[in-house]
Structure 1
Amino acid sequence: MHFQSITLALLACSSTAFAAPTASQPYSTWMATSFQSKSQSKIDRHYVANVLYEGIQKAATLHQNASLLSYASKAISSLVVANGTLLGWDPYYYSLDDIRVGNNILYFWDSEGRKEKKYEIAATALRKQLDRYPRTPSGGFWHRDPQYKNQMWLDGIYMAETFYATYTSYFQPDNTTAWEDIARQFDLIEEHCRNKTSNLLVHGYDESKMAVWADPVTGASPHVWDRAVGWYFMALVEVLQVYPKDLLGYGRLQGYATTLAEGLKKAQDKTGGWWLVMDEPYPGMKGNYIESSATAMFTYAYLKGVRTGLLEEGYRDTAKKAYDLMLDKFVKHEKNGTLSWEGTVEVGSLSGNGSYEYYIGVPLSENDGKELSNTPTMSSVASSAAPSATGSTCSTADFTQFPTTDVACAVGGTSGVPQNYSDILKDCCKTAPVESFADNCALYCLSVDQSVADLQKCFQDGGVNAAMIFCSGNNTATATGTPDSTSNPTASGTQAGSTSAQSTGAAPAVVPTQGVSKAGLGMLVMVVVSAAFGVML
């Protein structure tokens, strides 16, 4: 899941009490105004932008910065037209990532006197989508339909449940069915993803056990990815702020939070941070590293948990150690007096094979947009990308939308596909033709006469970056036919499962221009964390 902007939101939740001695102003507002000074596109409804603007809102509110608060308010208002239509949102395209904007809408509806009817309409439309949202047989929300059928990810809990709980607290506080449903989402994650020894949780699970990475017995993914755990820890702390204490679900959620807090404290590196891939034996292994976004997320959740009485006071020291590391290692002081944030992994997803090689192969993002010379696999990819695909096209391509329903593997990248990868695929795909799709940003072939696992291994042995490999079917699956020669190899840029149907609170389905630059979002964490040591919002 994409993230570079949580930095700003997290610094907004610490106080100046923990600011560096040389800081000339609170890090939260400093980071927020630094973000404003960097080249960014217009806000969109995507979760990345909206988590960022929540950080700006928190920083502005804490430090009574009217200018910043107005900036955030106007940005959110621009997403909702007067009749309550949420621009760019399709109510019949089901992705938990698209629910996250509801938190921003509810905040300004509440803080500005609950007078803005358009916000209430838009939030209600998002809430009603959850009533018809696709679910696993056990009642869990799919992460996205149809790409991640029967899959639940830790990321999705943060995207949906924080809004679901906040909306319920405002409009349906006595709806015990809704409260039980919210707790059920956490219950399912705990049942399938929690390691009872380490107290950490793997990235997600597939209830159908059909995903290429799914454990054949439990359906769980193989690794603990730091940022997924960060999303989940924050979701627990945020939902517990509004969950009724007299309901049974409250005790369960509080237990999940305290257990995770214990596990994270044990997993904290001596430097104060946390490793990208957290499950043993990977901390310290070649390619692994201390990653900034999750380090900030954990810091935020610890501090808010301590302040609101959910966690023991002793965890403040755990957070302080992490905060000091962030200031020393991840905050960059620019010559023009602004701040930048470094060390954030660009994305983490279960759309591929979920392997260790996948996670460590994803590049880092920096606010200043520099090329990542310390990531040779990605720099070599960029230097030899196929000229037929443009970066602007490929940056929004969905490589999980195959032009076939048969079992297949693909290679795709935000800068296109390196020219030498075509030869690798031709060698690995045996008799299956290699075809392009996603506007020439990706190549694929059917898994003919070999399993998905064998095909993926051949790709990687040939030199394909694991982060660029996407497959359908589980590890043992094979194709049942051959590619349809009449299929359109470049027609997978649309959202499968979407429709042009409209309802109140929704706009026609469109693929919006990415708002907050994914090369400049690493600042979000720093804003929230710099407000979290005192009066946290």
Structure 2
Amino acid sequence: MKNNRKKGFVSVVILGLMVLTSCKVTSQVQANKDIVISKDLKWSDKMALTLMKRHPQAYMIDDSKTAKWDYVHALVLHSIEELYKKNPDPRYKSYIRGYVDTLVQNDGGIKTYELDKYNIDLVVPGRLLFDIYATSKEQKYLTALQSIRKQLAEQPRTKSGGFWHKQIYPNQMWLDGLYMGEPFYAQYTVTFENGKSLDDIAKQFELIKLHATDPKTGLLYHGWDESKEMPWANKETGNSPNFWSRALGWYAMALVDVLDYFPKDHPKQKELVKYLNNVSASLAKYQDKSGLWYQVTDQGAREGNYLEASGSSMFAYAFAKGANKGYLPAKYKKLANKAFDGLTTQLIKKVDEDGGITLTQACQVAGLGGNPYRDGSYEYYVNERKKDNDPKATGPFILAALELNR
């Protein structure tokens, strides 16, 4: 009889906690739907609040129907995390925490995350765990961080030591992968390992710089296949055939973010700063008079090409942060402001009745290989779908707005 009463009591407590949690989530969703977006807000707040209003729970970003551990959510939430440092609105913190707690379980396991796929894209959400663990000290967040670190320890590599982009893309390094893996890797090794892996992080940039840089333009190709076996790969260099602005944006953002963790006296720090200066100088040559960059970076107004939001936002952020940190000359801050003017005047075409903003002309997705096959041709890049307020544009837009204090 006593046992039955105990069981009954425990059931009631559990049910009560479930109801409380459900009420909390419901009230949070309603609160986000009721957000007011004033025209007087800074662009960073306007965009963050627009996204929170359109996607009341963070897992809904990118119109997702179910929660998943994903780099696009992480990119936007990382930008909101940076925004929270400047404007500590509790709604921002709650939005980020809601995403993490939907996916990180009590034992530290991460729902939908499959380590054995060795997909470097899935390292990015790990960046959201550092601050949460630092403030909460809950073991589950540390366990989750350690799982992501384990992936990097086991990630397949090219013979020369570069991380494969994914298990299904053998021997390939993509510019995207530097942003996906290295900022987390740098923060982890500095936070927990006394910086022991900083040389390995620098090596990833060295390999891409060495193999994927075009000597004529100074731009870097989207992908490099060390085996030179992919149909898209140049048989002599292993490089893909075109320059894609978003891929170059990932590379530039990776450099400015990773440099946060490299001490000035580290032997590789100056090398990384040099890479940032090199790519920035090359990109500056291709900035359109509107301040923006084209989808295929070096092809200008060729038929089908268009001024693209994600790459332009990424360059604005990298230039502004690079200048603010002293890695780049001050003129890049002006170029970043010019880019931001282009984004806000050319690509934010309208403001909704509720004050929400929409950033247009963002390429939804692009890659190499796979099924259906993506050949990296000019025609391929300019014909991929576009999406309004695509997270790969909105996240860097918020970061650029913060660096420029706009």
TM-score range, shorter chain: 0.7 to 0.9
Deviation at 1:234, TM superposition (A): 0.2
Query: 1:300 and 2:317 equivalent?
Result: yes
Deviation at 1:296, TM superposition (A): 0.4
| Corresponding residue of 1:124 | 146
Deviations 1:274-307 (A, max 9, x none): 011013xx22100001101110000001111111
| Corresponding residue of 2:398 | 527
Deviation at 1:356, TM superposition (A): 0.5
Secondary structure at 2:103's aligned position in 1?
Answer: coil
Letter in 2 for 1:359: Y
- Aligned partner of 1:274 among 287, 293, 299: 293
- Aligned partner of 2:213 among 180, 188, 194: 194
Secondary structure at 2:307's aligned position in 1?
Answer: coil
Residues 43 and 49, structure 1, Cα contact 8 Å, conserved in 2: no
Query: 1:362 and 2:233 equivalent?
Result: no
Q: TM-score, normalised by structure 1?
A: 0.64
Letter in 2 for 1:221: S
| Corresponding residue of 1:38 | 54
| Corresponding residue of 1:10 | none
Secondary structure at 1:152's aligned position in 2?
Answer: strand
Q: Distance in 2 between matches of 1:324 and 1:44?
A: 34
Letter in 2 for 1:309: G
Deviations 1:168-222 (A, max 9, x none): 01001241xx111111111110011112332211101100000111111110111
Query: 1:321 and 2:338 equivalent?
Result: yes
Secondary structure at 1:531's aligned position in 2?
Answer: helix
Residues 311 and 393, structure 2, Cα contact 8 Å, conserved in 1: no
Q: Distance in 2 between matches of 1:55 and 1:131?
A: 27
Residues 192 and 218, structure 1, Cα contact 8 Å, conserved in 2: yes
Query: 1:83 and 2:107 equivalent?
Result: yes
Deviation at 1:315, TM superposition (A): 0.8
Letter in 2 for 1:308: K
| Corresponding residue of 1:27 | 43
In structure 2, runs of 5+ residues without a counterpart are 1-37
- Aligned partner of 1:344 among 362, 366, 377: 362
| Corresponding residue of 1:55 | 79
Give matches, 1:228-247, under 5 Å. Answer: 228-247=247-266
Residues 29 and 60, structure 1, Cα contact 8 Å, conserved in 2: no
- Aligned partner of 2:304 among 287, 292, 307: 287
Query: 1:148 and 2:164 equivalent?
Result: no
> CA RMSD, aligned part only?
1.7
1:61–1:244 distance in 2 versus 1, CA, 3 Å: closer
Q: Distance in 1 between matches of 2:208 and 2:123?
A: 19
Q: Distance in 2 between matches of 1:337 and 1:286?
A: 34
Residues 340 and 522, structure 1, Cα contact 8 Å, conserved in 2: no
Deviation at 1:81, TM superposition (A): 1.1
Deviations 1:427-466 (A, max 9, x none): xxxxxxxxxxxxxxxxxxxxxxxxxxxxxxxxxxxxxxxx
Residues 250 and 314, structure 2, Cα contact 8 Å, conserved in 1: yes
Deviations 1:336-395 (A, max 9, x none): 32111111011110121111110011011124xxxxxxxxxxxxxxxxxxxxxxxxxxxx
Q: Distance in 2 between matches of 1:522 and 1:201?
A: 20
Deviation at 1:97, TM superposition (A): 0.5
Secondary structure at 2:211's aligned position in 1?
Answer: helix
Runs of 4+ with deviation above 6 angstroms:
none
Q: Distance in 2 between matches of 1:523 and 1:186?
A: 25
Letter in 2 for 1:37: K
Q: Distance in 2 between matches of 1:323 and 1:174?
A: 35
1:348–1:132 distance in 2 versus 1, CA, 3 Å: same
Q: Distance in 1 between matches of 2:323 and 2:67?
A: 33
State the structure with bigger RCO (CA 8 A, min sep 6), 1 or 2: 1
Deviations 1:222-278 (A, max 9, x none): 111000000000000000110133232212111101111111111111110001101
Secondary structure at 2:104's aligned position in 1?
Answer: coil
| Corresponding residue of 1:169 | 190
Q: Distance in 1 between matches of 2:111 and 2:76?
A: 18
Q: Distance in 2 between matches of 1:276 and 1:340?
A: 19
Deviation at 1:527, TM superposition (A): 2.1
Query: 1:64 and 2:88 equivalent?
Result: yes
Q: Distance in 2 between matches of 1:525 and 1:92?
A: 29
Q: Distance in 1 between matches of 2:105 and 2:98?
A: 12
| Corresponding residue of 1:258 | 277
Q: Distance in 2 between matches of 1:183 and 1:249?
A: 7
Q: Distance in 1 between matches of 2:260 and 2:276?
A: 12
Secondary structure at 1:138's aligned position in 2?
Answer: coil
Secondary structure at 1:78's aligned position in 2?
Answer: helix
| Corresponding residue of 1:466 | none
Q: TM-score, normalised by structure 2?
A: 0.84
Letter in 2 for 1:150: N
In structure 1, runs of 5+ residues without a counterpart are 1-21, 368-517
| Corresponding residue of 2:160 | 138
